[in-house]
Chain A
Amino acid sequence: MRGRRETDSMQAINWASVFFLLLAGLACAFAIAVVVTGNIVRMAFYLVLSLAATSGLFFLAGADFVGAMQLLIYVGGTLVLLIFGVMLTSQAPFINMRTGSGELLIALALGGTIFGVLAFAAFSIPEWRNGELAAVGPSLPSQTAGPIGMGLLGARVDAESIDDDKAGYLLVFEIISVHLLVVLVGAAYLARAKRRRDALPA
């Protein structure tokens, strides 16, 4: 029995790790492709794939709700709007962007700094440096939308007690909601039909 167990663990592939590496690699590769490509619509296409791979990482981590959010907001909504913008503003078909070397240098410095900070932050957390687990294991499915909704209403279900000092996100939620309302009103103001007297005969 013991021998069988060992061969099992040798043969068993940790699919979570495999998919983590696959999706993370895809996300990074397409992110680099966004930067390297000159054509704007192709950039948008690679950005879609990169963001979709990121949502795949969320699904892999068991965060269904956040993953679906990522799909709806970033992959669905933002990119449709982005492409709208590109298609409406570009003067010539298949417009190409030329980046100067100065811009490239600044972008490289900025991106490198953010990458460095994030990498430092990630590696400085002792719990994440466990070498035995290559990546997240398959976790027990749990309801993910409920705790998020409760958190936005100001109550954290993962709090041990009221003294736990795990604050909810009611204020943040309200600020973002009002902000979005302002943006919507602004968009409606900008897009409203200008009243012209000589526009069309009635």
Chain B
Amino acid sequence: MAILFNKALNWIASWFDGSVAADSVAGYVLAAFTHVFLLINLVAVGALIFIWLERKVAGRIQDRLGPTRVGGKFGWLQTLADGIKLITKEDLMPEGADKFLFKVAPYVSFCAALAALIALPFAGGAYPFVAVHMNVAVFFILAVLGVEVFGVILAGYSSASKWALFGAMREAAQVVSYEVPLGLCAVVPVLLAGSMDLVLIGDYQQGWFWNWYVFHDPFTFIIFWVYITCATASVNRAPFDLAEAESELVAGFHTEYSGLRWSFFFMAEYGSMMTVSLLASILFLGGWHGPIPIGSMLGLTFENSFWLGIAGNFLGLGNVLLKGFMGVTIMMWVRWTLPRLRIDQVMITCLKYCTPIAAVMFLGAVLWQVSLPGRAFFGIAAVSSEIHELREPWMTPTAVQSVDQSPMSVDSDGGLVVHARQAGN
């Protein structure tokens, strides 16, 4: 990405008869700032839209109108009014609180929610739209999402309040438990693509919608819904919002928070909702590849020209954001439809249902992939040859030159080759 920036800088500099080398520092710094700016705005503007949407969805489901006054017909400036109200609120802190940790906790949550986004691609191809093209992106995002709970625990502990501590304990128990089935679900697309690189996983699902991993086989179809359940639980949304449970714990871990500090928790929550939805769309729903391959039909690919490819990537960006947006909307729909579970029911859902189902479906997906390799859409359609030719853009480990002597190696297709060990060695 930074090289791309340096090329762009070079192009601009060429107007003034100058030049910028491809490995120049300027592009790296500029690229870093651009990425962070875009991602912070994805979280912030996303929260702005989602809070309005949440009110509207809640209103519609409860047979009301939701906000109608602020900013015209649909009340679409309601969040801004909320924000101004939050800024003018007094920043309260309990007398007995651990002041330093109390102040720091919202930022820990928010930073974790933001950090998960840096490895998330928004379009693929030869020049993917991703801040850091990481070859263990799936793993990284799951790891960082787990860190977010730390901010909540700190908030609950430092508030010196029973309600906050109860909320934090529940959250910790819940997130630690749900990481297990969530990880098992995320492993299945990794297994099918043979890579932890999200760009490659997304691009393996290119073409028509039957190439999407959710339709790969019956097991992935089931595991997609397990993933949605676990993702809802791991970002603490109703019916799993035990950490804030208004009816019993006042407001849970953020009981003592007010004003802007409180809103940081909310931004973190909407940010991680967006992250898990985007992750679901990349892992299972084709990511930036729409149901109909309009982009490649119109010739918007990098094979034709660089700028056409970039245009196609912007189409993909719209696609993946739309999918993420729909995922968040479904979470809202679920929140306002289903009643909250009890804490023991939450644990039972995770340990007795989600984890075993995910484990069995994982085994099923493995067996399916072994018995029907190279098939898509429940084994009906064949995977096109273009998809087979996709490779990770970096060095994959190749074994020694004389393959015969190595006991095990990775061949050019990325598969594991085991060689019989010769008696002489």
The chain A residues found within 8 Å of chain B, CB to CB, are 8, 11-13, 15, 39, 41-42, 45, 48, 52, 64-65, 67-69, 71-72, 75-77, 79-81, 83-84, 87, 93-94, 140-147, 150, 153-155, 157, 159-163
CA distance A160 to B96 in the complex (A): 63
Residue of A nearest to B196 (CB): A145
| With A76-B146, A140-B394, A154-B408: A83-B172 Cβ-Cβ less than 8 Å | yes
> B408, A42: Cβ atoms under 8 Å?
no
CB pair A154–B407 under 8 Å, yes or no, is yes
Q: Which chain B positions have C-beta within 8 A of A84?
A: 169, 172
Q: Which of B150, B153, B397 has the most chain A CB within a 10 Å cutoff?
A: B397
| A142 contacts across to B, CB distance below 8 A | 135, 394-397
Asked if B140 and A15 make an inter-chain contact with CB atoms under 8 angstroms apart, the answer reads no
Minimal beta-carbon separation of A167 from chain B (angstroms)? 11
Indicate whether A76 sits within 8 Å of B147 (C-beta atoms), given known contacts A64-B135, A83-B153, A83-B157: yes
Q: Are A39 and B98 in contact (CB under 8 A)?
A: yes
The minimal Cβ–Cβ distance linking A59 to chain B, given in whole angstroms, is 8
Contact in complex: A64, B169 (CB < 8 Å):
no
Among A42, A65, A71, A159, the residue within 8 A (CB) of B406 is A159
B160 x A146 contact (CB < 8 A): no
Q: List 25 A-B contacts (CB under 8 A).
A: A41-B101, A42-B101, A45-B101, A72-B146, A75-B147, A76-B146, A76-B149, A79-B150, A80-B149, A94-B96, A141-B395, A142-B135, A142-B395, A142-B396, A146-B396, A150-B410, A153-B408, A157-B397, A157-B398, A157-B399, A157-B409, A157-B410, A159-B406, A161-B402, A162-B407
Q: How far in angstroms is the closest Cβ of chain B from A133?
A: 16
Q: What residues on A are CB-neighbors of B142 within 8 Å?
A: 72
| Those of B391-425 within 8 Å (CB) of chain A | 392-400, 402, 405-410, 416, 421, 425
User: B interface vs A, CB < 8 Å?
Assistant: 21, 24-25, 28, 96, 98, 100-101, 104, 133-136, 139-140, 142-144, 146-147, 149-150, 153-154, 157-158, 160, 165, 169, 172, 175-176, 179, 196, 392-400, 402, 405-410, 416, 421, 425
Nearest 10 Cβ contacts at the A-B interface: A155-B408, A76-B146, A72-B143, A157-B397, A71-B143, A142-B395, A68-B140, A141-B394, A162-B405, A146-B397
Which residue from A75, A80, A163 sits with its C-beta under 8 Å from B176?
A80
In the complex, besides A84-B169, A143-B392, 4 extra interface pairs with C-beta distance below 8 angstroms are A15-B25, A68-B139, A150-B408, A160-B400
Assembled-state Cα–Cα distance A159/B406 (Å): 9
A118–B236 CA distance with the chains assembled, in angstroms: 43
